[in-house]
Amino acid sequence: MKKVLTLLTIIMMVSFTFMACAADDDGDAFSAEIHASIMFMEMNNMPYVAEDSTGMIMGYLWQGETWSAARDAGPIADFMFPLSVSGGGDILSTASYDEHVEVSETGNYFLGVFETSGMDYSTAVYTIGFYNADSTNNIDMMMGSAIPVTESGDVELGQMMAMK
């Protein structure tokens, strides 16, 4: 009987150890998604037309306390908006596209959208704009506003309205 009690005690201790370890692994993970949306608009009855060398529309994400610090550090993530651009002046007007990027820590993020000839930021051929919540169209050609991420979950941005 004593051996049975000892064996049951050992089994219970091992079970509690495994359950405690599993709970520790799940509880501390940080994960957030920044959801971006862009709509290409007409301006003065002229459609939004991509540059001749544009092959894709890319979003890039920077992280830093200020835009200057984030820009100096360089982009930390990129994503491609799901649209086909073959160059040669494709018309993108009235099309709306959504995409998201995952972040694994809290902080201030800055988002820019560009016409590019490749995936890398160095292939940008035209600046569509930076996300700016203070602008009427949620977009600014020169500088974005900080996107504060303070907790796990989704961060929904206002739709960026791009015009040329």
Which of these, 18, 57, 60, 12, lies nearest to 38 by C-alpha position? 57
46 and 4 within one domain: no
Question: What are 131-153's pLDDT values in tens digits?
Answer: 999 998 999 999 899 999 999 99
| 25 and 57 both lie in a single domain | no
- The pTM of the whole model exceeds 0.85: no
pLDDT at 92: 83
Over the chain, what is the mean pLDDT? 85
37 plus 25 within the same structural domain? no
Task: Give the CATH number for residue 125.
Answer: 2.60.40
Same domain membership, residue 35 and residue 1: no
Both 96 and 146 in one domain: the answer is yes
For residues 24 and 78, give the distance between their C-alpha atoms in angstroms, rounded to a whole number.
31
**Percentage of residues in the chain with pLDDT exceeding 70?**
82
Residue 18 and residue 78 in one domain: no
Q: Domain count of the chain?
A: 2
User: How far apart, in whole angstroms, are the C-alpha atoms of residue 158 and residue 66?
Assistant: 20
Q: Residue 42: phi, psi to the nearest 5?
A: -80, 150
Does one domain contain both 146 and 87? yes
Tens of pLDDT, residue by residue over 98-123, are 999 999 999 999 999 999 999 999 99
Domain span holding position 153: 31-162
- Please, are residues 109 and 103 in contact by the beta-carbon 8 Å criterion? yes
Tell me the pLDDT band of 60, cut-offs 50, 70 and 90. Answer: very high
Distances (CA, A) of 81 to 20, 35, 106: 42, 11, 24
Q: Is the pLDDT of residue 124 over 90?
A: yes
In DSSP terms, 127 is beta-bridged to 114
User: Quick one: 23 and 100 in the same domain?
Assistant: no
Give strand ranges (E) for 27-81: 32-40, 56-63, 77-80
Q: Are residues 139 and 59 in the same domain?
A: yes
Q: Please tell me whether residues 8 and 58 are part of one structural domain.
A: no
Kindly state whether residues 38 and 82 are assigned to the same domain: yes
